[in-house]
A and B are shown apart, each in its own frame.
Chain A
Amino acid sequence: MSQNRFQNLYPPMPSIFMAPTEIMYDAKHLFLFSHTQGVKKPYKEVIDICWGDAHSGGTKPLTFVRQVIAVCIYPELLQETTIAPDVKERARRLLRECPGGSVGKYCVCGIPFVQDGVCEFISKRDGGVPSYPEDIFICSGSQNALMFVLKLLVHGKGLAQTGVLTPIPCYPTFVMGLTELGAAMVPYYLCEDDGWCLHVEELRRALATSRSHCNPRILYVINPGNPTGHVQSRESIEEVIRFAAEEELFIFADEVYQDMMYAEGSQFVSYKKVLFEMGPQYSNTVELASFHSVSKGIMGECGLRCGYVELVNLDPSVKQSVTSAFNTERNTAVIGQIALNIMVDPPKPGDPSYPTFSQVSLHETVEALPGTSFQAGSGGIYAYLRLDLPQKALLQAKEEGTDPDLMYCSRLLEEEGVCLVVGKEHGQQEGTYHIRICIGTTSTRLKEVLRRLKSFHLRFLNEFS
């Protein structure tokens, strides 16, 4: 029997944020297993609507992206007549940029050609605000990029422990990352009644209380929000930047959903653009890390693992260290960088491979459900509903020794075969309960999810009325 030498010796990982998902996934596997054993259920398959993963949800990858990748992997395909000329041209260009002409090569800091493309994309998006390749760090996904930049800043214990202002609700992986690195999470509550918007007074409150137990240095914002889908107004972004400037905070702007805007008239404006339009007093001083990735947007290539961070206004004294530190990081898969290149430089209207994409609008159906409220977002890939659970249900949960939203979700899974994310995972105000649904899926699948959810929800309300 191996000795249990490592008990108490390794940094503890957070259990609170993992538990609901684990429970749900265990339950899902149990049901899947019982289904294969011939146990009768009112549904044929479990629909897992947890992850922000478009392809798992049935969305097809974009042909252009996949053709370019296939040709880069197997250049013999350049002879294929069925492959469009713009695909071949892009693949040839990318292969030229890989010394040795192969995607099997390491890429330090990212392929320069891809970095340049990222800069052009950012600059164009932000109405001409310049972007420089040496500020772009290509990583294996936005989580990887977040951890890389966090690591530069996070250290210290006790009062000196680096604090990170984190929105509540927030997706759990980020919080786990903070724990892994030994950062102190400083929660600030988004205002549900106000469409999940960010109030600077709340930031101020959170910051003030945090100073008694840590050293807050980072302000993390997710825009568009996860799970809320809220898209910040320009004024809100300006307020946040002003706040960060006053309080000397490094802004981490997680903007991976920037290409997923669905509400009419809503518009994404980047933190960088707003920063630069606020004049040199801010644009020359406020430190900003902006994150993006190929996992979301119209490409939804989560499995390829590629994203980038743009670091703005880094102190010159740290640039060398940052680059050296980055050089020791394991490099990003070339395939992922190819996807990134296409994301920032997609086929244009008129090109043979110009893609299309459509998104389902969710709110009508959901809002019709009694006993829920839904602050519809304008972007992102999730719908985040509040469950107004009847008193009886709360008591039942207490009796069962579980959380009300977990009880709701477990039953939903059991009775209707729908697996979604329990609100507790994201953090929520005491006494409120939520569920998160990924809406980045085919409309057929989504309609089915909503049908089952409605059926279950009405029954649930009835049972506990």
Chain B
Amino acid sequence: FEVCQPALWKMTENCFMHHRTKVLTIDTMNPNVKKVEYAVRGPIVQRAVQIEKELKAGAKKPFSEVIRANIGDAHAMGQRPITFFRQVLALCSYPELLEGNEFPEDAKERARRILQACGGGSIGAYSASQGIECVRQDVARYIQERDGGIPCNPDNIYLSTGASDAIVTILKLLVCGEGRNRTGVMIPIPQYPLYSAALADLGAVQIEYYLDEENCWSLDVSELRRALVAAQQHCSPRALCIINPGNPTGQVQSRQCIEDVIRFAAEEHLFLMADEVYQDNVYAEGCEFHSFKKVLFEMGPEYSDTVELVSFHSTSKCYMGECGFRGGYMEVINMDPDVKVQLTKLVSVRLCPPVPGQALLDVVVNPPRPGEPSFNTYIKERTSTLQVLAEKAWLTEEVFNTVPGITCNPVQGAMYSFPRISLPERAIQQAKEKGQAPDMFYCMKLLEETGICLVPGSGFGQREGTYHFRMTILPPTDKLKIVLEKVKQFHQSFTQQYS
């Protein structure tokens, strides 16, 4: 894809001069790696990067900038970080600042506490592989408070490099067997493509269950059952992944639904993986985040003593948006003790998660309390960020639903809209001729004509014959309005062009 002079030169030299076979060729490569795709950073993003370079070089286009509405990266879209968090992290990075007057006492107190727990008082020292103990304790306390007092054991908390790292780690433990015994993992369609990429990488069997688009992308247990029964013919289903609030769909599961899923997992002996990274991003009226753990424990010991559950959270989303820090954790419930020993060994192979990310996580679960100097600013920033996201979620749904040919389910939570687009037959034909998924064809054209970068629904999975795109709600409101308008116009002209 990227062709630049030096690489060409090298290639020519290689072809010209040698006859030795390379050790690593497309044929000798790990076949699992070849299968891996990650749509969020796939070909459309690569083209977007190219266009940005072209613009920089002075190329004339119908737009002046590329708008990257493809990835859930809040700060890249101008969302402001929470001041308090940055203050504590700055203090941890350069502790000499503790002596000065620039920072409030509550930030200093937290920084001191974190540094005391670090080797040599430095965030540059390795931490225990499972994560700094006092951070795990703070995370446990946070979970306990969030879940109305249900106890949380810090030993069950594993800090990680973002939630994705933890998710992949658990999948590694679960995937084994050959042929009909090969591990099958149930994932929602549409899904966040980390899951499909990880499953391909590990050579696991992907078991797809469809979310119900007609019903706000809700999860139906009968659909879970259908998928499971079909899968049992050719693999050994072991795990069930839930994303709540959903990505890309944004649906927030009802409490009843969560209970049904837990019951299903218990009946069918499935390991539950609950991806809850968007737990603070809930916007729609009548919707509320219910943690899987809380519901599990409120269902009584018959379930809370037996169902194996891992919940994931991170510092990359919600109101923090600190993707670049790579902070995250998982809570492991009812894991077999022998497996837990293996898990502890497994995480030690990468040594430890980035300590700044652990420090950030600590402040996220231990924010300013009422009465502390930084509380007012913190609560103001947090509320405002979430409020603006809620407004943008509503705005997006509203605008898209005014466009003939676009239907958009309410964006109940998370950071994305996933509208359905109807494409003219001719466009679908042309796409097929080009060897492209029709929504990829659509998104590529959108990118070329407007500079707006979205991810086609084919990257996330969708029902046969339906097409979607995922757009983040992160651009600043005025920019978002422009983007929505441009997409609307594009859709109308595209429809006309190909009818």
Residues on A facing B (Cβ under 8 Å): 1-7, 9-13, 18, 51, 53-61, 63, 66-67, 69-71, 73-74, 76-77, 80, 82, 98-100, 102-108, 130, 132, 134, 140-141, 143-144, 147, 151-155, 173, 176-177, 180, 217-218, 245, 248-250, 280-281, 284-285, 287, 299-305, 313-318, 320-321, 324-325, 327-328, 330-336
Contacts and interface: CB of A to CB of B under 8 A. Distances in A.
Contacts of B194: 328
Contacts of A102: 75-76, 81, 324
A303 B173 contact: no
B349 A316 contact: no
Shortest Cβ-Cβ A-B pairs, 9 listed: A56-B119, A303-B355, A334-B324, A70-B94, A74-B90, A104-B75, A102-B75, A55-B122, A328-B38
B150 interface: no
A54 B122 CA distance: 10
Given A73-B90, A328-B36, A147 B78 contact: no
B78 A100 contact: yes
A393 B233 CA distance: 60
A278 to B, nearest CB: 13
24 contacts: A6-B336, A59-B120, A73-B90, A77-B97, A80-B102, A108-B41, A140-B161, A140-B326, A141-B350, A144-B350, A151-B30, A217-B28, A284-B14, A285-B14, A303-B124, A305-B326, A318-B25, A321-B29, A328-B37, A328-B194, A328-B201, A333-B326, A335-B356, A336-B354
B336 A4 contact: yes
B435 to A, nearest CB: 16
A143 B334 contact: no
Contacts of A330: 161-162, 164-165, 168, 326
Q: Interface size for chain B: under 10, 10 to 19, 20 to 34, or 35 or more residues? A: 35 or more
Contacts of A318: 24-26, 29
Interface centre among B2, B123, B269 (most CB of A within 10 A): B123
Contact of B76 (A61, A105, A248): A105
Contacts of B102: 76-77, 80
Contact of B125 (A10, A53, A69, A328): A53
Contacts of B21: 248
Interface stretch (B5-13, B372-380, B451-459): B5-13
A9 B306 CA distance: 19
B30 A100 contact: no
A306 to B, nearest CB: 8
Contacts of A313: 14, 22
A56 B127 CA distance: 9
B433 interface: no
B24 A287 contact: yes
B33 A151 contact: yes
B134 to A, nearest CB: 15
A98 B176 CA distance: 40
Contacts of A153: 23-24, 28-30
Contact of B348 (A4, A67, A173): A173
A61 B74 CA distance: 31
A134 B21 CA distance: 22
A177 B349 contact: yes
Contact of A132 (B6, B165, B305, B350): B6
Nearest to A48: B119
Contacts of A66: 93-94
B342 interface: yes
A130 B13 CA distance: 15
Nearest to B103: A74
Describe A's contact surface by its main secondary structure: loop
B431 interface: no
Given A287-B24, A302-B351, A327-B41, A176 B345 contact: yes
Nearest to B164: A330
B81 A324 contact: no
A315 B36 contact: no
B133 to A, nearest CB: 12
Given A176-B345, A304-B356, A315 B22 contact: yes
Given A305-B161, A316-B14, 8 more contacts: A1-B306, A4-B336, A6-B173, A63-B96, A67-B94, A284-B18, A305-B353, A324-B37
A180 B349 contact: yes
B71 A106 contact: yes
A100 B350 contact: no
B30 A152 contact: yes
Contacts of B42: 324, 327
A103 B81 CA distance: 10
A369 B190 CA distance: 66
A28 to B, nearest CB: 13
B346 interface: yes
Nearest to A69: B93
Contacts of B90: 70-71, 73-74, 77
B42 to A, nearest CB: 8
A155 B326 contact: no
Nearest to B315: A104
A148 to B, nearest CB: 10
Given A9-B177, A108-B41, A304-B355, A74 B120 contact: no
A301 B352 CA distance: 12
A177 B345 CA distance: 10
A336 B351 CA distance: 15
A330 B162 CA distance: 8
Contacts of B342: 10, 12-13
Given A80-B102, A140-B354, A331-B326, A2 B119 contact: no
Contact of B127 (A134, A180, A301, A303): A303
Interface string B318-345: 0001111110000000111011001001
Contact of B269 (A5, A144, A245): A5
